[in-house]
Amino acid sequence: MNNYQPRAPHPRRSVANRSRVGGHATSRNTLRSPGEGLRVGEALGLRRSDLHLVPTATTLGCSTPGPHVHVVGRDNPNRARAKSGDRVVPVRAEVLSCYDRYLPERAACPAAEGCDFVLVNLAHSPLGQPMTTDSVRKWLSLLSTRAGLERRATPHMFRHATATELLARGASIDVVKELLGHSSIRATEVYLHPDVDALRAAVDSLGPIDLGEAAR
Ligand SMILES: [Zn+2]
């Protein structure tokens, strides 16, 4: 396994597990979980019909195996944008339970009833309308303060942390490139941060230097 040194703090652990703001505990989970490295604009543009959180979605007319989400390029009223265009992103099975916990919160907001977006405002105006990037930034800022973080968490930290963790767990850079929706491998390479142990292991793997008889 490769070892890489993350550059940013891990907001998925440090923020999400230590604070609760405005009754948004499960919507926070829903925001971070289907993320799996999604851009904030991609997450905020998700419609409920884009979530195929089932082992097989053939009955929905989709042949992609396993739970996944469809990132779809659309003109959205909340200005959320799928920068890399349409793509399919696999997600972990636990996302379904996060989404199941979020749905009752959403259902308790009558203003959200007619909205097809996944992530909507449940605690501030305009109630029931799609969340915006600005509202997510303010929300994370508030969480960061309440959690006592030295550094304010941003939406990109979640993406950065996911990419770094994937690489640290041995995912190949071309796989991470596809998961993140990068157009170029060079954009993915910025997440490569080999630490000193990885450098030591690489050198040690070369074996001893053969200095020949004269040196013995
Ligand atoms: Zn699908």
Residue at 65: amino acid letter = P
Instruction: Name the pLDDT band for 56 (thresholds 50, 70, 90).
Output: very high
Q: What predicted TM-score, i.e. pTM, was given to this entire model?
A: 0.74
- For ligand 1, the distance from its centroid to the CA atom of residue 45, given in whole angstroms, is 16
Taking domain 20-150, whether its CATH number is 1.10.10.10 is answered by: no
What is the reported pLDDT for 30? 44
Q: How far apart, in whole angstroms, are the C-alpha atoms of residue 133 and residue 125?
A: 14
- For ligand 1, the distance from its centroid to the CA atom of residue 194, given in whole angstroms, is 35
Average pLDDT over residues 77-83: 80
- For ligand 1, the distance from its centroid to the CA atom of residue 199, given in whole angstroms, is 40
Query: Could you give the C-alpha distances from 146 to 17, 162, 179, in angstroms and in order?
Result: 12, 23, 31
- For ligand 1, the distance from its centroid to the CA atom of residue 80, given in whole angstroms, is 20
- For ligand 1, the distance from its centroid to the CA atom of residue 208, given in whole angstroms, is 52
- For ligand 1, the distance from its centroid to the CA atom of residue 52, given in whole angstroms, is 5
- For ligand 1, the distance from its centroid to the CA atom of residue 62, given in whole angstroms, is 5
Tell me: pLDDT of 62 over 50: yes
What is the reported pLDDT for 210? 81
- For ligand 1, the distance from its centroid to the CA atom of residue 201, given in whole angstroms, is 41
Instruction: Name the pLDDT band for 214 (thresholds 50, 70, 90).
Output: low
What is the reported pLDDT for 95? 86
Average pLDDT over residues 14-18: 37
- For ligand 1, the distance from its centroid to the CA atom of residue 22, given in whole angstroms, is 32
> 41: closest CA among 139, 143, 174, 130?
130
Task: Give residues whose Cβ lies within 5 Å of ion ligand 1.
Answer: 52, 57, 62, 64
Lowest-confidence pick of 22-31, 118-127, 161-170: 22-31
Instruction: Name the pLDDT band for 75 (thresholds 50, 70, 90).
Output: confident
Where do the domains of the chain lie? 20-150
> 49: closest CA among 23, 33, 69?
69
Tokens read off for 1: 């396994």
Tell me: pLDDT of 19 over 60: no
| Residue 2 near residue 10 (C-beta atoms within 8 A) | no
Tell me: pLDDT of 47 over 50: yes
- For ligand 1, the distance from its centroid to the CA atom of residue 81, given in whole angstroms, is 19
| Residue 135 near residue 155 (C-beta atoms within 8 A) | no
